Amino acid sequence: MDIKAVVFDYGKVISFPPEDTVLEELAAIAGMSPQALDSLLWPHRAEYDRGTMTGKEYYRMLLAAGGVRRDEGDLEKMVDIDLRSWTHINPGTVKLMEDLKAIPALKLGILSNMPHEFLALARGFIPVFDLPDISIFSCEVGYIKPETAIYQRLLSALGCEPGALVFFDDMQINIDAARSLGIRAFLWKDPETARAELNRLKVPV
């Protein structure tokens, strides 16, 4: 077997996507339409994931960009709703990770853009975070996908060549960045498709 490590993104790969009602809840607190709030969420997310700001600072900044101000209590509610929306785990992905963990000499990892607050929450009560041999989180290293440096940190931590690493992520931009370094990266569809792709690479899961 040429593959030495298999690494998963967290959001929308290990976890399910947030439910549609989450955006509606956040928009109601913000006093904005869901469409208006959605247009602000991701363009401002990078520094939150990098660990340079808190959740309240992130929401205060993006609401200000939309011409809205809310008090500390509302900001805290928005952060809590956001964080908890990412805690619903895909059991199929966990089973795949457990099967990979059982393969001798194969390293299992997580590589994810993630703010400090969610990481603290997840480590406290989401068991899947105990599975990987190596975990690289943007808030702890100061780099975010698709920046080259975060993939280099991953490869260094795993101690393997790019071609010996399989990586699953739900965003094409992150896949493209990984592939540019020679990593065998695949756009996430579902656990069954990932299992089939691993089988094609002679990883017996």
| pLDDT tens readout for residues 99-122 | 999 999 999 999 999 999 999 999
pLDDT, position 85:
98
The answer on pLDDT for 39 being more than 70 is yes
pLDDT, position 117:
97
The arithmetic mean of pLDDT across residues 164-182, rounded, is 98
pLDDT, position 44:
86
pLDDT, position 99:
98
How is domain 5-16+87-200 classified at the CATH fold level? Rossmann fold (3.40.50)
The predicted model scores a pTM of 0.96
H helices of the chain, where?
Answer: 20-30, 34-41, 46-50, 55-65, 72-84, 91-101, 116-125, 138-141, 148-158, 172-180, 191-200
What SS3 class is residue 147? Answer: coil
The arithmetic mean of pLDDT across residues 191-196, rounded, is 98
Mean pLDDT, rounded, of the chain: 97
- Distance, in Å, from the CA atom of 163 to the CA atom of 109, rounded to the nearest integer, reads 15
The arithmetic mean of pLDDT across residues 180-200, rounded, is 98
Percent of the chain, pLDDT > 90? Answer: 97
| pLDDT tens readout for residues 68-99 | 999 999 999 999 999 999 999 999 999 999 99
